[in-house]
Amino acid sequence: MLRTILFFLFAFSTQLIQAQSEEGLQGKIYNEGHPVEKVNIVNETTGKSTVSDAQGQFNIAAKKDDILILSAINLETKRIIVNQSHLDQKELSVKMNTSILPLEEVKVNENSGVNAENLGIIPRGQKKYTPAERRLREATTGSGIVPLNPILNGISGRTKMLKKELRVEKKERLLLQLDGWFEDDFYENTLKISKQYVRGFHYFLIEDTDFVRALKAKNKTLTKFLAKGLGLKYNDILAVEQK
Give all domains of the chain, ordered by start, each with its CATH number: 22-95 (2.60.40.10), 131-172 (no CATH), 179-241 (no CATH)
The pLDDT value recorded for residue 128 is 58
The pLDDT value recorded for residue 20 is 42
The pLDDT value recorded for residue 72 is 84
The pLDDT value recorded for residue 131 is 61
The pLDDT value recorded for residue 123 is 53
The pLDDT value recorded for residue 48 is 85
164: how many CB neighbours lie within 10 A of its CB? 14
Q: Chunked in runs of 10, what are the mean pLDDT values of the chain (243 residues)?
A: 48 45 81 90 86 92 89 86 87 86 52 53 54 57 48 56 64 84 91 89 88 90 93 87 68
